[in-house]
Structure 1
Amino acid sequence: MTRHLLREHCFKILFVLDFYPEEETKIQIDNYFESPSLEDEEDELIHDANYSDVDIEYIKSKTMLVKDKRPEIDQIISELSQGWKLERIGRVERNILRLAIGEMKYDNDIPVSVAINEAVELAKTFGRDESYSFVNAILSKVSMEE
């Protein structure tokens, strides 16, 4: 599985976790990996459940890194999104930002420019029309602090 697809799965899990209390984290992650592949009406793959053990480990470890660092990451988002309370930022954008900032700050294997580019691509795919601009602006501020 490509790094982009692995990152997309991490985002989807983080998005799902945003709807549940923290004590359900393990259950929700397990449910995610037990869900079958799913296609839409045009036979386009929506959820690819073909994971190797290595893929599952990568997705889980990156997701848990972001989840464990969430208070610090949310503080960064709050400080840099002037005029926007964290709760007002859409769940899609909020979790894309969490994932990217987690990679930028706590994952030395991912170059900052790659984390930003991948986040913008996720925002174009899953966010609203101008989500990618907001995500790019916040992440650019984060990168300037590096």
Structure 2
Amino acid sequence: MELTRHHIRELAFQTLFALNTNEQTDWKDFYQVLTDGKYGDDYPSYLHQLISGVLENKSEIDKLIEKYLISGWSLNRIAKTDLIILEIALYEMIYVDDMPAKVSINEAIELAKKYSDDRSRKFVNGILSHALEELVK
């Protein structure tokens, strides 16, 4: 069974969230746990691209997120779930050439609906919409 990009994004989110609290662990170990090993040792290349891309470009991506926060807010104030969703979407918007930005935004909103609440969905949409305006310029 081939994983869809939607499912891969969800696995990337879950993996990055797990890494956030267990930094010493290899992300591939989390992949095995999250998928119950049903895909074997092979992991999708897009999953590797998302996870390593977010981790390698985290400081640049987080600076962009900070740029659009309400005055007085910092990254520490954002729920970890929302921050990771934003990081994945912005990584795709900036670094993945064959990915329309609106797809990344819609997928981020879907993740926020599933893993956060209605306010988070609006927050994620607002940050990504502002980023899109800048990236299009």
Tell me if TM exceeds 0.5: yes
Change (3 A) 1:100 1:36: closer
- Structure 1, unpaired ranges of 5+: 38-47
| Corresponding position of 1:45 | none
| Residues 85, 108 of structure 2: 8 Å contact kept | yes
Cα displacement (A) at 1:30: 2.6
Opposite residue 10 of structure 2, the aligned amino acid is E
| Corresponding position of 1:41 | none
Cα displacement (A) at 1:118: 0.2
TM-score, normalized by length of structure 1? 0.82
Equivalenced residues, count? 131
Cα displacement (A) at 1:18: 1.8
Out of 104, 116, 120, the residue aligned to residue 127 of structure 1 is: 116
Opposite residue 29 of structure 2, the aligned amino acid is N
| Corresponding position of 1:40 | none
| Corresponding position of 1:62 | 50
| Corresponding position of 2:60 | 72
Out of 38, 42, 60, the residue aligned to residue 50 of structure 1 is: 38
Identity of aligned residues (%): 37
Cα displacement (A) at 1:36: 6.1
- Structure 2, unpaired ranges of 5+: none
| Corresponding position of 1:44 | none
TM-score, normalized by length of structure 2? 0.87
Q: Does 1:12 align with 2:1?
A: no
CA distance in 2, matches of 1:67, 1:75: 14
Q: Does 1:2 align with 2:4?
A: yes
Cα displacement (A) at 1:50: 3.0
Change (3 A) 1:129 1:28: farther
| Corresponding position of 1:108 | 97
Change (3 A) 1:112 1:129: same
Kindly provide the CA deviation profile for residues 57-106 of structure 1, in whole angstroms up to 9, marking residues without a partner as x.
Answer: 32122110111000000000111112321011000000000000000011
For 1:33, what is the secondary structure of its paired residue? helix
Opposite residue 111 of structure 1, the aligned amino acid is P
| Residues 123, 135 of structure 1: 8 Å contact kept | yes
| Residues 109, 124 of structure 2: 8 Å contact kept | yes
| Residues 16, 28 of structure 1: 8 Å contact kept | no
